[in-house]
Amino acid sequence: MKILKFFVIYFLLVVFALLYLQPVLYMVSLSFKSFADVIDPTTRWIPNYPTLGNIEYAVGQMAIMPMFLAARSTWDNLMTSTLFVSLLTTIPPALVQIVTCAVAGYAFGRCTFPFKRTMLVMLVLTYVVPPQTIFIPLAWLNSQMGFLNSPMAFVAPALFGHGLNGGLFVIIYMQFFRKIPKELEEAALIDGANPFSVFAKIIFPLAKPAMVVVFLFSLVWHWNETFLTGIFYTRIATLSTQITRVNIPPQEQLQTMLPTVMASALLFVAPVLVVYVFAQRFFTESIERTGVVE
């Protein structure tokens, strides 16, 4: 009976895994195929004449390297690199969200304040409103603050516990803090500590599993963002908007276009994949420990 159950589980998992991974493997395989491999129908997965040409071409087309001009400041020169812009759009907001969303999550999970129910509805609302409904005023706001073409467009809302999927992160923290025993805070408060240092020194450090989840999700979602970056960034660009640019190949390479597109996709996902390989244990385990949403 048990063997039968294992058999069914493995069978289903393997079938689904193959379906899942097929596009990814296809992307990797095609990225290294040379022209000879592309036109050869017998070469399916493993190229006979592997090449790095596609990758090199994609690196150039995606403007990964900064373009140095003496007339510009070092910062402006660096901002011509899509990789640099992507990193700036990803890491600072994620780091800020770890802290600010925790503060808001603590308020919703553990504190009492007037109109708490109404504010909870607002919290859910921030998650449900599509960015497409509010992007015009947001763009105007950013232009007034001088945040267009600057990662500040993403850091500023994060500073207030909002930002990309900020509502979701607040909810994750809220659920986590609700589970911590009340006695912990009470003991410290009786000993005369003020509520803010109790949060900073006792409660917040306990939330490591939630922090890991929030940080990783935030990194990934900022990295993948295309809609808001497309609106806020007019002179600079992130990697995520560059994949499609490779679609316009030079004439003589028209036939080998597909491998270069796939190479650009590979370059784009590679950093995320590396992070995932190292962090997936936290990713999968800490979800269980935080219970994410209840």
Partner 1 sequence: MKIETRNKLVGLAFVGLWFVGFLLFWAFPLIFSLYMSFNDVTIQTDRLLFEFAGLEQYQRALFMDAEIPNVFLLFTASSLIVVPVIVVFALIMAILLNQKFPGRGLARAVFFLPVVLTSGNLINELTNHEQGSLNFLQSATVTNLVTALPDTWALAVGNVLNSFLMVLWYSGVQMLLLIAGMQSINPSVYEAAKIDGANDWASLWLITLPGIAPFIFIAVIYTVVDQFTAPFNPIIDVIIRHFLSPQTGYGYASAIAWLYFGIILLILGFVTLIFRKPLGLK
Task: Give the shortest CB-45-to-partner 1 separation in angstroms.
Answer: 13
How much of the chain is in helix, strand and coil states, percent to nearest 5? 75, 0, 25
Residue 65 or 120 having the CB closest to partner 1: 120
Residue 66 or 209 having the CB closest to partner 1: 209
User: What's the per-residue H, E or C state across 265-291?
Assistant: HHHHHHHHHHHHHHHHHHHHHHHHHHC
Residue 78 or 292 having the CB closest to partner 1: 292
Residue 1 or 70 having the CB closest to partner 1: 1
Task: Name the DSSP letter for residue 246.
Answer: G
Q: Which two tokens stand for residue 79?
A: 């901002």
Task: Give the shortest CB-226-to-partner 1 separation in angstroms.
Answer: 5
Residue 70 or 128 having the CB closest to partner 1: 128
Compute the distance between CA of residue 257 and CA of residue 251 in angstroms, rounded to an integer.
10
Task: Give the shortest CB-66-to-partner 1 separation in angstroms.
Answer: 22
Could you give the angle at the alpha carbon of 273 between the alpha carbons of 50 and 248, nearest 5°?
55
| Residue 250 burial (10 A CB sphere; 0-12, 13-18, 19+) | exposed
- The DSSP secondary structure of 101-139, one letter per residue, reads HHHHHHHHHH---TTHHHHHHHHHHHHHS-HHHHHHHHH
Task: Give the shortest CB-167-to-partner 1 separation in angstroms.
Answer: 9
Task: Give the shortest CB-111-to-partner 1 separation in angstroms.
Answer: 3
